[in-house]
Chains A and B, each alone.
Chain A
Amino acid sequence: AIRMTQSPSSFSASTGDRVTISCRASQGIFSYLAWYQQKPGGAPKLLIYAASTLQSGVPSRFSGSGSGTDFTLTISCLQSEDFATYYCQQYYSYPRTFGQGTKVEIK
């Protein structure tokens, strides 16, 4: 199975900050990568697919980049509603696997 490793596991940030979350795959996955946002008690929400394509309805402050093994999710100007846990997921091969999650907390 492809192992997805996110960094950091958690961090604190302030509203208005630019934040980046990294995701590394244990082998190349081309651009078969998605990012999800999950708030407490809620289901994950698709933010980005194909590594860099914004899902319809997702604010443009979210962006994704990378290919192969290294990927990044960037939030250009953190808003109060963005404090959540973020997961990357590969859909290149079976079994589908997720990163362990990155929790973005309020500083």
Chain B
Amino acid sequence: QVQLQESGPGLVKPSETLSLTCTVSGGSISSYYWTWIRQPPGKGLEWIGFIYYSGSTNYNPSLKSRVTISVDTSKNQFSLKLSSVTAADTAVYYCARVAVPYTDQDAFDIWGQGTMVTVSS
């Protein structure tokens, strides 16, 4: 079955760029929308943005100026970059899949285990 795994640095300095990758295994990245979601410690879930396997994206306006999501179909991976980070960006970052192919208008059925990223000097 399809599994997702986030990877990347667990510690990022303020004002630098957070970079994470999500590797899709057990299935193809093609035909689906993929997403990043984050959760600050002890708080709720915040949607960051979508990417389609073709490369089209949609971002949360609250983060849009700082976010870039990209896809590498040859590696079955998609990635998140968040620039100019502050302590407020400290969170567990999850990647997930939209359940139904060819549409972004559905629930998130498969999630990675999440990776904690701390912003601190």
User: Which residues of A come within 8 Å of B, CB atoms?
Assistant: 1, 32, 34, 36, 42-46, 49-50, 55, 87, 89, 91-92, 94-101
Q: A91-B105, A95-B61, A98-B45 are in contact. Are A43 and B114 (CB under 8 A)?
A: yes
Q: B52 contacts the other chain (Cβ, under 8 Å)?
A: no
Give chain B interface residues in 91-121, CB to chain A under 8 Å.
94, 99, 104-109, 111-114
Contact with A along B58-78 (1 / 0, CB 8 A): 111110000000000000000
Q: Are A98 and B46 in contact (CB under 8 A)?
A: yes
List of B residues within 8 angstroms of A36 by Cβ: 108
- Closest residue of chain A to B6 (Cβ to Cβ) is A43
Cβ contacts under 8 Å, B112 to chain A: 43
B interface: dominant SS? loop
Contact of B58 with A87 in the complex, beta carbons under 8 Å:
no
**B residues at A contact (CB < 8 Å):** 35, 44-47, 58-62, 94, 99, 104-109, 111-114
Question: Given A34-B108, A43-B113 in contact, is the A99-B44 Cβ separation under 8 Å?
Answer: yes
B104's nearest neighbour on chain A, judged by CB, is: A91
Residue pair B111, A44 in contact (C-beta under 8 Å):
yes
CA distance A87 to B114 in the complex (A): 17
Contact A94 B58 (CB under 8 A): yes
Q: A43-B94, A43-B111, A95-B62 are in contact. Are A49 and B106 (CB under 8 A)?
A: yes
Chain A contacts for B59, CB-based, 8 A: 95
